[in-house]
Chain A
Amino acid sequence: AQKVTQAQTEISVVEKEDVTLDCVYETRDTTYYLFWYKQPPSGELVFLIRRNSFDEQNEISGRYSWNFQKSTSSFNFTITASQVVDSAVYFCALSVWRDDKIIFGKGTRLHILP
């Protein structure tokens, strides 16, 4: 069975601080995909990144970066120089190859304080 754990339920940081959201996943499959989604107050899930299990390269996109470590089954997400607009709930998710459903973590609610 697959499982995604986001241990941080809620985080508050002051604007311009860096913040890391943790994600630990469990799966016995060797081919799988990891995702991060952002859910702003409007409710719509916004796709941020997809990473497959064979690509452990870290990725940076503007102020966002992702650290994928298979050895610790983690896929952490860092926001550098946070902004108030980053306030949202962030979900980490997992899907195994040839399985059409995505397993979501419980989410981390991020508050960026001005």
Chain B
Amino acid sequence: KAGVTQTPRYLIKTRGQQVTLSCSPISGHRSVSWYQQTPGQGLQFLFEYFSETQRNKGNFPGRFSGRQFSNSRSEMNVSTLELGDSALYLCASSSLGTSGIVDNEQFFGPGTRLTVL
């Protein structure tokens, strides 16, 4: 079974630009979560999608958005990039149970390292 894949692995952008990151979950997994990892703030939850609906959102500005497609693949978009957006963006998928995501193990992808210049 293929793991979670994220593309691209590395990305360099300049301030003011926008970026789209992609995440393909493990086959059969319908829940996809996104996390931002920085040296200063550590790992922080961005949002979670299940069946094309955003179910939960972390404390990030509206410049951060996402979506999920019918095949469970997910994209996250960051508009008007700032230097502080430089981070490792991790995606995780899980086979959601009836009681919610926390009942199930989350499988993480390798991440996309975004550098904003």
Contacts and interface: CB of A to CB of B under 8 A. Distances in A.
B105 A104 contact: no
A60 interface: no
Interface of B: 31, 33, 35, 42-45, 48, 50, 55-56, 58, 88, 90, 92, 99-103, 105-111, 113
Contacts, number: 63
Interface residues of A, number: 24
Interface of A: 33, 37, 42-47, 50, 91, 93, 95-107
Contacts of A105: 42
Q: Which of B43, B44, B103 has most A Cβ within 10 Å?
A: B43
B102 A43 contact: no
Contacts of A104: 35, 42-44
B88 A43 contact: yes
Given A100-B101, A104-B42, A42 B56 contact: no
Contacts of B92: 45
Contact of B56 (A33, A91, A97, A99): A99
